[in-house]
Structure 1
Amino acid sequence: MFYEPKDGHGLPHNPFNAVIAPRPIGWISTRGADGLDNLAPYSFFNAVAYVPPQVMFASTSAKPDRDGTKDSVANIRDTGVFAVNVVEYAARDVMNKTSGSWDRNVDEFALAGIEKAACETVDCPRVANAPATLECKLTQIVQLPGEANFVVFGEVTGVHLRDNCIVDGMFDVTTFNPLARLGYRDYSVVREVFSLNRPGE
């Protein structure tokens, strides 16, 4: 099968994000200029640089009360900071609850019963018991073609690692089983890890 996206795919559901999978989930926490906290998962997320460490996530839809975007991007645009919380398999249900298109006045931490903690280098909350959290300072927001497509880039200014995730001096994902996004309504979980040496190493 071949199709050009501009002409449609002819399938019952769009296969695009099922092809690009698995994708890590950035559970983005923010605080608005009005002091209201927000927590939402984004699967268009990744690390993009080592020095200084930098990450990105993309928001691809809008809410009527947020001027062409969603709560996360609107808050970051106003305050210049955010945090990325790593999602473990054990948090799959509460993470999913925070994915709803809730009113801007809803605190998803409270809604889903998630413990909140303060960040150290930026003024926003984080998921207290997350395996890891990256505190970030906004570097740029890029608007992509399309109605509500924004990519947010941030420099990591602080890193929280849950103590039990550090094994023999390394951050060990097998201690918490990261959740990953597939296509449609599908997710996956990392339970098996193997190593490969690059040529010349």
Structure 2
Amino acid sequence: MPEYDSAELEPNERGRIIKSAVTPRPIAWISTTSTDGVDNLAPFSSYNYVSSAEPVVIFNTPYAEGDEQKDTPRNVLETEEFAVNVVTEPLAQTMDTTAASLEADESEFDYAEVDRAECETIEPPRVADAVVTMECTLYDSMRVRDRLAILGDVEYFHVDESVMTDGQIDAAKVDTVGRLGGPYYTVSDLIEFERQF
């Protein structure tokens, strides 16, 4: 079995291994609104939750200063609001389209023809066709080496009736899309095994 000392690998080599090993990675399709009123929408596959009873989600992005910073983190840090839209299989192609590099005054909602819906507690819109959306306010942010980690307090949930069973969200009905290493995505699919403990 090949073995590698992380310190002896190039950054892209380390990145390829970790991005291929830590999979499937959930995708946060994050909507924000700039201080100039431009709606932004972008996918982030370095995303998870860090607290559930008092829900806090986390995503990270390359760290950059000033104008080099991506629109999403800049908008979150300036407005302290964002929405996480869950990506399911019917939305995968559209989600990928919103990863395009646009100017700050252009909206990915318009570019990819994504329908907006209003949020209840924050200004940014949500993806109308997302089966789950979480409205968030900024909890904290921190630099971790070459990345900027952003944490959000989940203030409000939107859950579509189509993914509910007996009044609760049903994981078997949420066909989430995950990111694999390289250019690949995957769709969640149940296996014939149930957790015992």
Correspondences of 1:1-201 after superposition (within 5 Å): 1-8=2-9, 14-60=16-62, 67-146=67-146, 149-193=147-191, 194-198=193-197
For residue 173 of structure 1, report the CA deviation from its aligned partner: 3.2
Q: TM-score, normalising length from structure 1?
A: 0.89
Task: Give the 3-state SS of the residue equivalent to 1:92 in structure 2.
Answer: helix
CA change 1:153–1:106 in 2 (3 A) is same
Task: Give the 3-state SS of the residue equivalent to 2:53 in structure 1.
Answer: coil
Task: Give the 3-state SS of the residue equivalent to 2:94 in structure 1.
Answer: helix
8 Å CA contact 2:81, 2:136 repeated in 1:
yes
Task: Give the 3-state SS of the residue equivalent to 1:103 in structure 2.
Answer: coil
For residue 92 of structure 1, report the CA deviation from its aligned partner: 0.7
2:36 partner letter: D
C-alpha distance in structure 2 between counterparts of 1:61 and 1:143, whole Å: 7
Which shows bigger deviation, 129-138 or 172-181?
Answer: 172-181
C-alpha distance in structure 1 between counterparts of 2:69 and 2:26, whole Å: 22
8 Å CA contact 1:59, 1:69 repeated in 2:
no
1:36 partner letter: V
For residue 61 of structure 1, report the CA deviation from its aligned partner: 5.9
Which shows bigger deviation, 100-109 or 189-198?
Answer: 189-198
C-alpha distance in structure 2 between counterparts of 1:116 and 1:58, whole Å: 24
What per-residue deviation string (whole Å, max 9, x for no partner) do you get for residues 21-53 of structure 1?
Answer: 111100010001110010000010001102321
Task: Give the 3-state SS of the residue equivalent to 2:16 in structure 1.
Answer: coil
Q: Which runs of 5+ in 2 are unaligned?
A: none
C-alpha distance in structure 1 between counterparts of 2:101 and 2:187, whole Å: 24
For residue 197 of structure 1, report the CA deviation from its aligned partner: 2.7
Give RMSD over aligned pairs: 1.9
What per-residue deviation string (whole Å, max 9, x for no partner) do you get for residues 129-188 of structure 1?
Answer: 101000001011111112xx1000010000000111101233123324110011001111
Q: Which has the higher helix share?
A: 2
